[in-house]
Amino acid sequence: MSPAYLSAVVKNLPNVPIVFDRFHVVKLFNEKLSNFRRDLYNHLSDSKEQKLIKGTRWLLLKNPENLKDNRNEPDRLKTALEINQPLSTVYYMKEEIRQI
């Protein structure tokens, strides 16, 4: 998916369609989600919201079916998503991409 690779493919195989694999697309989006969460945390002025966002990285990146009930992970994720609409939007975008 790197620009150099894409350029080489287009140059040497101009009639071949370029296909991206699901793993790498999800991986890139997860990186963007992590960066978004970090930036969001740094820009929040409400310490209560910061406390809810802190420690959610792995909750956001996990597949929902892998969240542990005994660790209260589903409820912690739900609370974090409820209080922050931008984070919720990006999280659900990740889930949509994962379904491809």
Domain locations in the chain? 21-98
Res. 13 pLDDT band, cuts 50 70 90: very high
Answer whether 33's CB lies under 8 Å from 94's CB: yes
Separation between Cα atoms, residue 60 and residue 41, nearest integer Å: 14
pLDDT attached to residue 97 = 93
**Structure confidence by residue, pLDDT tens digits, 34-63:** 999 999 989 888 888 888 888 899 999 999
As a whole number, mean pLDDT of residues 71-76 equals 93
Phi–psi pair at 68, nearest 5 degrees: -95, 120
Residue 66 has pLDDT above 90, yes or no: yes
Say yes or no to pLDDT of 96 above 90: yes
pLDDT value at position 4?
93
Cα 78 to Cα 31: distance, rounded to the nearest angstrom: 21
Query: In whole angstroms, what is the distance from residue 86 CA to residue 82 CA?
Result: 10
